Amino acid sequence: ALRPLPLGAATITAGFWRDRQDVNRKATIPAAGERLEEAGTLRNLRRAAGREPAADGFTGRLFADSDVYKWLEAVAWEQSCEPSEDLAERQAATSALVAAAQEPDGYLNTYVRLASPGGRFTDLEKGHELYCAGHLLQAAVAQYRATGDGTLLTVATRFADLLAAHFGPGRVEGVDGHPLIEMALVELYRATGTQSYLELAQYFVEARGHGLLVPPGHHGPAYFQDHLPVREVRILAGHAVRALYLASGATDVAVETGDTELLDALRSTWQTMTESQTYLTGGAGSRWYGEAFGDPFELPPDTAYCETCAAIASVQWSWRLLLATGDTKYADQVERTLYNAVVSGVSLTGGEFFYVNTLKVRDGAYADDQRSAVAGRQPWYGTACCPPNVMRTLASLDQLVATSDQDGLQLHLYAPATVSADLHGEPVGLTVTTRYPWHGKVSIIVTESPGSPWTLSLRLPAWAEGCTVTVNGSEEPIGQVGRSLPLHRRWQQGDEVILELPVRARRTLPDDRVDSVRGCVAIERGPLVYCFEQLDQPEAVVLDRTAVVAGELVESDQPGLLGGVTTVAVPGRLPDGSATTLTAIPYYAWANRSVGPMTVWIDAR
Amino acid sequence: ALRPLPLGAATITAGFWRDRQDVNRKATIPAAGERLEEAGTLRNLRRAAGREPAADGFTGRLFADSDVYKWLEAVAWEQSCEPSEDLAERQAATSALVAAAQEPDGYLNTYVRLASPGGRFTDLEKGHELYCAGHLLQAAVAQYRATGDGTLLTVATRFADLLAAHFGPGRVEGVDGHPLIEMALVELYRATGTQSYLELAQYFVEARGHGLLVPPGHHGPAYFQDHLPVREVRILAGHAVRALYLASGATDVAVETGDTELLDALRSTWQTMTESQTYLTGGAGSRWYGEAFGDPFELPPDTAYCETCAAIASVQWSWRLLLATGDTKYADQVERTLYNAVVSGVSLTGGEFFYVNTLKVRDGAYADDQRSAVAGRQPWYGTACCPPNVMRTLASLDQLVATSDQDGLQLHLYAPATVSADLHGEPVGLTVTTRYPWHGKVSIIVTESPGSPWTLSLRLPAWAEGCTVTVNGSEEPIGQVGRSLPLHRRWQQGDEVILELPVRARRTLPDDRVDSVRGCVAIERGPLVYCFEQLDQPEAVVLDRTAVVAGELVESDQPGLLGGVTTVAVPGRLPDGSATTLTAIPYYAWANRSVGPMTVWIDAR
């Protein structure tokens, strides 16, 4: 098993992700503070804390507290990257407000406090109380780890103690309709060592699928992730975010309790999801209705839901399975999902968000819902789960760059970075230089090394057929890609490893069972999925009636376009048979100029 | 413009539709009486009528009253086909109950009476009060026309008078979130001659699209059909049943008020819907989410919603446009929709229903909703709009067989039937003999005719390329199909017209813009759409991985299968390239033996 590096041990120093992190820090997070105020979300806390009249009631959706917690988590992680007075002030003030809103016995939920007094734990199906609690716990652990500030941790442990005393075998039997608490409790257990948190997480995982929840409306038990015991699930169904948060929590429980049967079940389910229930972008959740997974191979690009939160949850799950197994296929999926389905969820300026990450918009499309991509990115949402989820993900991205195990270090995400770690008590350091994902050369220089041999492992992505690796200029044998390449030797300061990834535009064919894209291709380049946006095409092109044909894919670096992208020109054919040239841009960057027809998959017959 | 024949003037005497009508009469309608009792729907009326304690409250969805009204409408139409003591008793008892539940001022809604006293017209967005009223009005008109019983008509006019006094310019401005009242008011106007009902219908049509409704949740104004003034709509959006009931009512208003601008707008919208927003089955509504129309060419077969009620509403609208214009394309669409999207909604035994009429079920499909086809047909639904809608449609089907105008008679649906009418005061009679839709020969014998010449018009369906017509053995020139063939002469008793329709299995290609079926074909035969159901295929066949290839389509009459159908054997190819033979059955008959993988469209590359 792999271990995360200590916080701060890996730092992304430049490039694609650092640019996004800078925008997140400077624009997105501060603006979100204002949105949380405008939406009444912070006011709910002030009313619950008695700083404003509680009788004025609650504003927003009943899970609104969670938006504050996710934002606080982002604020915390940002400070592990770089301290900031502004962030520290926001953290202190808001954490104090959260603490003040906590009830004397440790319970905390402003909706129940203000709008449903006496309603504690009476609507586990829809109430989201444990979901909100889970985000509180995660924010508290982040704050404690990132800044040493224990304000939220105290709030979190008091609430977790109440939950542990309330729920469980011989106490109240119940689970929350929206999973999340499971992984949050394991994280709190890791931060505090309190065994009852792990036991409660284990209970919540095992108690599902036994009918404790009573579906209140049209949706069946899968929507609430209560249709099967977790260890019997092999194909995900129901609400995608719920399914993936639960899978992440169950993975945590399996790892902490050494439950290999549960871990094997989860790995099998992940495999099925990745092969048949995940879009090329890494997006998960085919259905608007119930925000749900579709049946295997039900992956329509136009009606894809692909909620930003589901992509983030998928990254969390894949990351946990990577740590548990060391298998690079999980890291490949983390990378694919981050570069496409996650970062598509926020605009280049950082001020607007997608809730739904569709893979296709037609001519004449109509938006009858704020979440529709056709409505364009929005500054905030009535259900505002996605924006702060993107914020905490970007703010904590450094943590996904590398891991360690007893033999050495593993690099997972290729970005300009510094990595330092401790191998059996001795320091090791790396500097990574690259223009990835735009160009394939990754240089890794050893800046510090123990005298004894250790292993530097490089992920060779499954798409990277033909990559090469040199160590101090001599080529290493590669063999298969889609695996980890372990370089074991007595490393010296100044040693240089160069990984050359074949970052070139390529055509990707779909599985024939995905009927909605049969006969189509997509363009990919390195980890990036591309798309055709109407405004880049010649005037005569109607995307739904245009095909791509064989011929060279011509790449152009466009430093002035969309923050700097490489575009791909693709030979095409109009309905009348005449030739044309289509232009593809990275999918994540679409809808930053205007919103119109767009497609990832295009006819290739 | 065409006129409906008087009730009872056309009677389907045998064959496909008569079989379905017999099941409807003998099994479906009586069983539905029991379902309405079990579901508490009739009990709501007893409580509202003071026959049981009102304090015991309301059961079911807030629009449950409408289920009773639609069922009463079916009971009424059935009596126009054949009087029945049992039906008459059901009609009398239930109508008396409805009358007793009416409030002194004419208002009637058991949900408001029992569960929301004082809540009259306070939730026009979601309350469905005028929707329920509309179904009451329709039942009342049916009952009065079919049986002469004015019990419900009295209830209906008292309620309609209250509505006319309450709503309108200078009174309360408002429209219902669920259209229906518009066409019901025009029908009541036609039955009673009361001008204010037409005026109110016109108001309700014109008042939409001006923001009178405030969308209360995720759905935008299109869900409530309030996004645009009706005469500005060119592409349908939002909830399909609401859109189609409104379009039907607006057509009624346009016809009654001579509003050709409105009628032209509706015809244009119908054309767009039929060409780009309607499934091959005639089903309407691509999206589960919001039960809504998709964007043009968004017609995924697997996630198709195609609510049975939407298909029925589509028939109602097409029928109205047929009457208004005489254009047979509307009758073609009536036929396609009835044979496929409507009658698929009820099992062959008449006891179970589909709410959603999908065009594809995958391997490993999972149902997390009672409405999912994967759950199989259901004896009733929590929202039970579809079953009684099928009942009233089958019970009134005789009315769609033929129409008249000043020149003569028009035949629209080909079925064994007798048709009598009055042309300028003189009787005319026809007897139709056919085994359609299984075989293409339709014999029409003139049984009675005036001495002067008149026109018998036959619909030549658009798919019927190569059809022939003979009159007393001599062939008539046909010209184009997809139009009405007028046969003008001095008809004599005993004259025989024989229409030979080319009822042969054929391959249908999709529009290239429907990406989800690109590269596929469907099998059709006459007006019937076919499908491949797993249990009819050789064991090695996985439908999603099997293609059909060129070769003969072999038809077999199977009198013992599914109530008697013609199956079609289609040459196919397995993924390993080996040959196989697939078997197609009529789509409407699927899921009558078991529920498993099924597809209408199949790979043909």
pLDDT digits (tens, 9 = 90+) for B166-222: 999 999 999 999 999 999 999 999 999 999 999 999 999 999 999 999 999 899 999
Select from B482, B500, B518 the last residue of a domain: B500
Query: Which of the four pLDDT bands, split at 50, 70 and 90, describes residue B573?
Result: very high
B106 domain residue, yes or no? no
pLDDT tens across A114-124, in order? 999 999 999 99
Check if B544 contacts A (Cβ < 8 Å): yes
Percentage of chain A modeled with pLDDT above 70: 100
B421 domain residue, yes or no? yes
Same domain for A300 and A181: yes
Three-state SS string across A359-404, please? CEECCCCCCCECCCHHHCCECCCCCCCHHHHHHHHHHCHHHHCEEE
Note the pLDDT of residue B534. Answer: 97
Using the predicted structure, report yes or no on whether residue A270 has a pLDDT greater than 90. Answer: yes
Interface touch B221/A368, C-beta < 8 Å: yes
Strand-pair category, B408-411 with B454-460: parallel
Q: How many domains does chain A have?
A: 3
What residues are paired with A12 via a beta bridge? A417
Using the predicted structure, report yes or no on whether residue A55 has a pLDDT greater than 90. Answer: yes
Same domain for A335 and A413: no
User: Which segments of B211-309 are extended strands (E)?
Assistant: 238-239, 292-293
The label of the residue with tokens 């929507």 reads: A223
- Per-chain mean pLDDT for chain A: 97
Note the pLDDT of residue B498. Answer: 98
B503-508: list long-range contacts, CB under 8 Å, 24+ apart. Answer: B503/B436, B503/B437, B503/B438, B503/B439, B503/B440, B504/B440, B504/B553, B504/B555, B505/B530, B505/B553, B505/B555, B505/B568, B505/B584, B506/B463, B506/B553, B507/B553, B507/B604, B508/B280
CA distance B113 to B119: 8
Which residues on chain B are in Cβ contact (under 8 Å) with A362?
295-298
Select from B446, B476, B500 the last residue of a domain: B500
A 208-227 near B (Cβ less than 8 A): 218-223, 227
When pLDDT is averaged across residues B508-537 and rounded to a whole number, the result is 96
Same domain for A217 and A124: yes
Cα-Cα-Cα-Cα dihedral sign, residues B35, B48, B124, B60: negative
Closest by CA position to A521, among listed A547, A553, A551, A555: A547
**Token pair for A142:** 């982040």
Percentage of chain B modeled with pLDDT above 70: 100
Which residues on chain A are in Cβ contact (under 8 Å) with B218?
369-371, 382
CATH of the domain at B450: 2.60.40
**Set A81, A132, A306, A385: catalytic member:** A385
Same domain for A496 and A513: no
Check if A369 contacts B (Cβ < 8 Å): yes
Using the predicted structure, report yes or no on whether residue B511 has a pLDDT greater than 90. Answer: yes
Q: Is residue B385 annotated as part of the catalytic site, yes or no?
A: yes
DSSP secondary structure, A180-246, as one string? -HHHHHHHHHHHH--HHHHHHHHHHHHTTTSS-S---SSB-GGGGT-SS-GGG--S--EEHHHHHHH
What angle (nearest 5°) sits at the alpha carbon of residue B145, between those of residues B142 and B150?
85
Using the predicted structure, report yes or no on whether residue B512 has a pLDDT greater than 90. Answer: no
Same domain for A513 and A376: no
What spatial distance separates the first Cα and last Cα of chain A, rounded to whole Å? 45
Same domain for A454 and A363: no
CA distance A73 to A264: 31
Same domain for A588 and A562: yes
Strand-pair category, B360-361 with B426-434: unpaired
What residues are paired with A533 via a beta bridge? A598
Same domain for B412 and B458: yes
Using the predicted structure, report yes or no on whether residue A512 has a pLDDT greater than 90. Answer: no
Q: Count chain A–chain B contacts defined by CB atoms under 8 A.
A: 141
Inter-residue contact A467 to A503 (CB < 8 Å): no
**Token pair for B592:** 């009558």
Which residues on chain A are in Cβ contact (under 8 Å) with B237?
366, 368
Check if A117 contacts B (Cβ < 8 Å): no
B 241-260 near A (Cβ less than 8 A): none
Same domain for A302 and A264: yes
Check if B511 contacts A (Cβ < 8 Å): no
For testing contact with chain B, the best of A369, A515, A599 (most B CBs within 10 A): A515
When pLDDT is averaged across residues A587-591 and rounded to a whole number, the result is 98
When pLDDT is averaged across residues B54-66 and rounded to a whole number, the result is 96
Helix H or strand E encompassing B582: strand B579-586
When CB atoms are compared, the residue of A290, A296, A360 closest to B368 is: A290
What residues are paired with A198 via a beta bridge? none
CA distance B168 to B173: 6
When pLDDT is averaged across residues B17-29 and rounded to a whole number, the result is 98
**Token pair for B556:** 């077999």
Residues contacting A557, CB < 8 A, separation 6+ = A438, A564, A566
Using the predicted structure, report yes or no on whether residue B313 has a pLDDT greater than 90. Answer: yes
pLDDT tens across A272-320, in order? 999 999 999 999 999 999 999 999 999 999 999 999 999 999 999 999 9
Which residue does chain B place closest to A235, by CA atoms? B364
Which residues on chain A are in Cβ contact (under 8 Å) with B513?
544-545
Same domain for A589 and A456: no
Using the predicted structure, report yes or no on whether residue A104 has a pLDDT greater than 90. Answer: yes
B374 domain residue, yes or no? no
pLDDT tens across A352-384, in order? 999 999 999 998 899 999 999 999 999 999 999
Closest by CA position to A143, among listed A396, A402, A385: A396
B484 domain residue, yes or no? yes
Select from A470, A500, A530 the last residue of a domain: A500
CA distance A163 to A166: 5
CA distance A297 to A310: 18
Q: Nearest-CA distance from B56 to chain A in Å? A: 21
Which residues on chain A are in Cβ contact (under 8 Å) with B600?
none
A520-530 core/surface letters (b: 16 or more CB in 10 A; e: else): bbbbbbbbbbb
B205 domain residue, yes or no? no
Give the domain range for residue A559: 508-603
Q: Nearest-CA distance from B288 to chain A in Å? A: 6
A 50-89 near B (Cβ less than 8 A): none
Burial zone of A150 (CB within 10 Å; 0-12 exposed, 13-18 middle, 19+ buried)? middle
pLDDT tens across B574-605, in order? 999 999 999 999 999 999 999 999 999 999 98
pLDDT tens across A489-506, in order? 999 999 999 999 999 999
When pLDDT is averaged across residues A524-551 and rounded to a whole number, the result is 96
Same domain for A383 and A341: yes
Query: Which of the four pLDDT bands, split at 50, 70 and 90, describes residue A531?
Result: very high
Interface touch B296/A363, C-beta < 8 Å: yes
**Set B81, B132, B309, B385: catalytic member:** B385
B 254-293 near A (Cβ less than 8 A): 286-290, 292
Same domain for B527 and B491: no
Check if B510 contacts A (Cβ < 8 Å): no
Three-state SS string across B273-285, please? HHHHCECCCCCEC
